[in-house]
Amino acid sequence: MNKILMALTAVAAMTGTASAADLAARPYTKAPVAAAPVSSWTGCYVGAGGGGAITKNDHNDFIPGVGATSPNLSTGADGWLATVQVGCDYQFQNWVVGAFADYDFMDVKGDISTFGVFGPMSVGSQKQDYQWAVGGRVGYLVLPQLLTYVSGGYTQAHWKSTSMIGTGVLPAGPTTLPGATKGGWFIGAGDEYALTNFLPGLFWKTEYRYSEFDRADVGINFTATGLPTGVSETQKFREHSVRSELVYRFNWGGSVVAKY
């Protein structure tokens, strides 16, 4: 009997060993990888930069109550600008919408002439010295780090008083074209790119902008007395500008990744 029990025990042990050997190796499972953080364009920013502007002034001179004293003329001006900007954006999926305000310090100059009753009266150099704008933009993320957008809104610009040198044709003497502030509208298009490899939150933005200002009448005065010459000038300004800025976003952080 004991011999039978010992034999059965031996057989059971051998069977268990063979069964364990036949079991497949436990499959290797890679540890889950945490998803990379997704940075959002939602938030506020500040920016500063510079660029250039070209302005066209369509104008003609007239005597109030009498009529035009000159043909329709078009004169140009060009120069540089330095700009500062603040704004906020909101991102939903691949779209970004936002609002902003900016202020431009400008030195945009060009020649201008006026006409009197008997012909050219005086010439001078007209200067645009500042401009501000408020508006909004709508953009699409071509890449997680690259936004393309269109913009638009209200703008207002100032032209300084212009001293005019008389030509000797009546009415004679130096004259002054008073400074004026003119309001209008603008549209633009641009792109913004994340420079997060250099500094988290740093962006580079470039924008083209077209601005058009309301037509306005400006009276021409004698410089010595400040009295009107009796001649006024109607002006219509159109402006093309390109600006490039470095932008800092306060909320930015982490890698720029998303599903596209």
State percent of the chain over pLDDT 90: 50
Report pLDDT digits (tens) over 74-97. Answer: 889 999 999 999 999 999 999 999
Structure tokens, 181: 């502030």
Task: Judge whether 31 lies within some domain.
Answer: no
Task: Judge whether 209 lies within some domain.
Answer: yes
Report pLDDT digits (tens) over 153-199. Answer: 999 999 998 888 866 554 556 888 888 999 999 999 999 999 988 88
CATH number at residue 230: 2.40.160
Instruction: Please count the structural domains in the chain.
Output: 1
Per the DSSP assignment, residues forming a β-bridge with 134 are 101, 154
d(CA 148, CA 192): 6
Task: Judge whether 175 lies within some domain.
Answer: yes
Instruction: Give how far the C-alpha of residue 212 lies from the chain's centroid of Cα atoms, to the nearest Å.
Output: 16
pLDDT band, residue 35 (cuts 50/70/90): very low
pLDDT score for 26: 54
d(CA 220, CA 162): 10
Structure tokens, 39: 């940075």
Report pLDDT digits (tens) over 37-58. Answer: 457 899 999 999 999 999 999 9
SS3 22: helix
Report pLDDT digits (tens) over 4-34. Answer: 444 444 444 444 444 444 444 455 555 554 4
Q: From residue 126, give the alpha-carbon distance in Å to each of 59, 121, 225, 247.
A: 13, 16, 21, 32
What is the C-alpha end-to-end distance of the chain, expressed in Å? Answer: 77
Task: Judge whether 168 lies within some domain.
Answer: yes
Task: Judge whether 23 lies within some domain.
Answer: no
Q: From residue 247, give the alpha-carbon distance in Å to each of 131, 193, 201.
A: 20, 10, 8
pLDDT band, residue 230 (cuts 50/70/90): confident
Helix residue ranges per DSSP H, the chain: 2-22
d(CA 84, CA 103): 6
Task: Judge whether 16 lies within some domain.
Answer: no
d(CA 222, CA 217): 17
The phi, psi pair for 94, rounded to 5°, reads -95, 5
Residue range(s) defining the domain that contains residue 223: 41-249
Would you mind telling me the total number of residues written for the chain in this entry?
Answer: 260
Task: Judge whether 27 lies within some domain.
Answer: no
Structure tokens, 178: 């008073």
The phi, psi pair for 17, rounded to 5°, reads -65, -40
Exposure string over 93-104, b if 16+ CB within 10 A, otherwise e: ebebebebebeb
Task: Judge whether 19 lies within some domain.
Answer: no
